């Protein structure tokens, strides 16, 4: 797999999860948590665009940091074992982890 393929795959995942996060606004009643989720979705969508367009260092750092924060907030709000994880929430966290690992790999590849 080429670095370009990994970057664009991470960008595609960010675009999809960004749309998914914002789409929750139409499916659930408004709450502070949902507003934060939608804001992260907008940020994810923008990162997806930046990863697709250039994949510069800023896009890679954003693709590393924002999904890490999102996954950490998900774990903090719904600790594993508490029983409140949904399939969509699990998918969002899994995508966060895949994207942040891809961006980390791409950043380390540039440094090395």
Q: What is the pLDDT of residues 54-67, one digit of tens each?
A: 878 999 999 999 99
pTM of the model: 0.90
The residue extents of the domains of the chain are 3-111
Nearest by Cα to 50 from 39, 59, 41: 59
Residues 94, 67: contact at Cβ < 8 Å? no
9 and 102 Cβ atoms separated by less than 8 Å: yes
Amino acid 1: pLDDT: 78
Q: What pLDDT score does 33 carry?
A: 87
- DSSP structural state of residue 66: H
pLDDT band at 79; cut points 50, 70, 90: confident
Query: CA 66, CA 23: separation in Å to the nearest integer?
Result: 19
Helix (H/G/I), strand (E/B), else coil: 85: coil
């Amino acid at each position: 797999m080429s670095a370009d393929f990994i970057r664009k795959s991470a960008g595609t995942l960010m675009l999809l999860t960004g749309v998914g996060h914002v789409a929750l606004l139409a499916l659930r009643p408004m709450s502070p948590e949902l507003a934060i989720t939608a804001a992260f979705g907008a940020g994810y969508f923008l990162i997806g665009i930046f990863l697709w367009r250039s994949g510069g260092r800023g896009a890679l750092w954003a693709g590393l940091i924002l999904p890490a924060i999102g996954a950490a907030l998900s774990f903090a709000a719904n600790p594993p074992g508490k029983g409140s994880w949904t399939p969509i929430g699990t998918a969002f966290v899994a995508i966060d982890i895949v994207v942040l690992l891809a961006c980390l790999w791409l950043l380390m590849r540039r440094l090395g």
